[in-house]
Amino acid sequence: MADVNTNRSGDQEDRDRQFDQIIGQSAALEAVLKKVELVAPTASTVLIQGETGTGKELIAKAIHNISPRYDRPFVKVNCAAIPLDLLESELFGHERGAFTGAISQKIGRFELADKGTLLLDEVGDIPLPLQPKLLRILQEQEFERLGSTRTHRVDVRVVAATHRDLEHMVKQSEFRSDLYYRLNVFPVLLPPLRARREDIPHLVTYFVDLYARQIGKRVEQIPEGTMLALRSYDWPGNVRELQNLIQRAVILSYDGVLPNPIPSNHLETVTVTSRSAALNEVDRALILQALEAACWMIGGPEGAAAKLGLKRTTLFYKMKRLGISRPTPSRGVRVPVEALESTESSSTLSSLPS
């Protein structure tokens, strides 16, 4: 987990090892992990649903790790990545000569996962003609390889995962209802990252440490403005998108400071679409703190924009949107942002050699 309490019990340490690489302490994530702890000791089929990049494979692996099958094979197959005409052979195997190109016998994933766990990732992409055979093995734990009449029996715990709405697919006759009900014995719905924003700082710290070690760079500071931007972004690609952006930021980091990895064309979107008044207050407080620390100097290496990890023009935009203006020392009159921007530009020009 992200935060480690040195006084925690041995039970908590065991739990952290069981949920290795699952980072966060939000209520939404804890609710998922409690479900995992409940279902893992059973042999029940689990259906993990969630948007792309939410960590469905990590949850499936956790179910296996704390089940009685933990020392048996954990086999995974991405049903969307295998051509439709080869998927049946991949799952159930084939005999030599079963079809053109079958030059030798092949053991399928169900046999490889015997006594263990099989993850059927993107199960919603399994074609309709193959679904009855999958239903049979789920119900009876038996099947035949392609090109053979011999029945094989296996003992496999199936965990299925998908980002698709299977219930809707059933209504559209795109997925068999009996297979859906057989898979949906114990559903686990993973929250998107935007629904557990409090986990973002833990994830950022984890990925920064991970990639700094891998790349061999030293990252000692994450500016408050950068962290605020990361927490404000909606993350359509969820944790996977965050992971990739942090890797990019570590590569681009300079002098031990992590830059803001969110593309500039998203910065205004993040600010405008934020629905939380509290978040605006946090944004305002951070900007004011940085401005006061920089004596209201905005540009330059020691300016507020650099302290916040923002471009100077972006900081001006945020100040204008939040109604931040500099009070004059004599009468408490506030100087509008436009005047600040004009003054800073003039002072910069006047400092250039003639």
Share of the chain above pLDDT 90, in %: 60
Averaging pLDDT over each range in 53-62, 264-273, 317-326, which range is the top one?
A: 53-62
Q: How confident is the model at residue 287 (pLDDT cuts 50, 70, 90)?
A: confident
Please spell the DSSP secondary structure of 15-76, one letter per residue.
Answer: HHHHTTT-----HHHHHHHHHHHHHTTS---EEEE--TTS-HHHHHHHHHHTSTTTTS-EEE
| Residue scoring higher pLDDT (60 or 302) | 60
Kindly tell me if the per-residue pLDDT of 1 is higher than 70: no
**Model pTM?**
0.71
**CATH number belonging to the domain at 276-342, selected among 1.10.10, 1.20.58, 3.40.50, 1.10.3470:** 1.10.10
Topology adopted by domain 10-191: Rossmann fold (3.40.50)
| Cα–Cα separations (whole angstroms), residue 267 to 232, 233, 272, 318 | 9, 8, 9, 10
Share of the chain above pLDDT 70, in %: 81
Kindly tell me if the per-residue pLDDT of 283 is higher than 80: no
| Cα–Cα separations (whole angstroms), residue 322 to 96, 268, 336 | 71, 13, 12
Average pLDDT over residues 216-229: 93
Kindly tell me if the per-residue pLDDT of 6 is higher than 60: no
Topology adopted by domain 194-262: Helicase, Ruva Protein; domain 3 (1.10.8)
Q: Would you kindly state where each structural domain of the chain is located, as residue ranges?
A: 10-191, 194-262, 276-342
